[in-house]
Structure 1
Amino acid sequence: MTRRFPLAAAALLTTGLLGGCGPMVPVCPAIGFVNPGPVTIEVAPALTVGEVAACFGDGCAPAPLPLDRDGRGQMPLAPPFLADTSVVSIEPGTTVRVVITDATGTVTRDVRAEIPYRSEGGGPCPGPVSFDAVVIS
């Protein structure tokens, strides 16, 4: 038993001394942040003389999006704006498609845009994030 003590003490001392030799690397917790939406679409007043339709992702089929008097519409992360119902969170890099038509039904804008976001984590680890309005002008 007395032979084990010096060996254990030497191993513990070596680990303690060498463990602090490397650079300090931040370790981020494995926390997932869910952003269920909705996403705000803001359309310039001059463009709202017809219809506005929108959807999430590339190759999606835009659905009519009602706008308030300020030209803002709330697009939920749900059908008909979202085809893939397994998606439960808006992530950085998510894109939307916004199609605007005039009073005659002619497409005046067909825009694909990434939803702007900002990190609120305040440190080396990302998240949580908040999403800004997608502005179409």
Structure 2
Amino acid sequence: MKQFLFLALAVSGMAAAQIQGSTTVRENGRTLTINCTGINDVISVRGNNNTLTLNGTCENLVVYGNGNRIAAWSLVKVWLKGNNNVVTATQQTTAPTLSNTGNNNRYTLESLTNGSTTQGDDKGKKDDDKKD
């Protein structure tokens, strides 16, 4: 009986790594999958050195932490406030509104129709999706 209880606890612990909707990631060094609902989601990353997978459309991604790796399906608004973060998104919609006030952040937006666009560290640059 104890073996079954241990197995149930172990499986439920693995399921906790998948999160639904708005959330704040405060932990460090975690690997998480977050399922965005697309309506008023706010994914806030305050921890450091996490690997996150964001499924669905995430309306708001705010990264305060450092050294995070984030792979997303679709993003609407992105704020990079921490340092040394990498965000990759495969967009099916228009490019997100981006704000990068941290240092050494990288974001790559891959549109299914327009190919890949990589943006570097433009500290303080707001609304990076606007054309010059």
TM range (shorter): under 0.3
Rg bigger for which structure?
1
Larger strand proportion, structure 1 or 2?
A: 2
Q: Which has the higher contact order (CA 8 A, sep 6+)?
A: 1
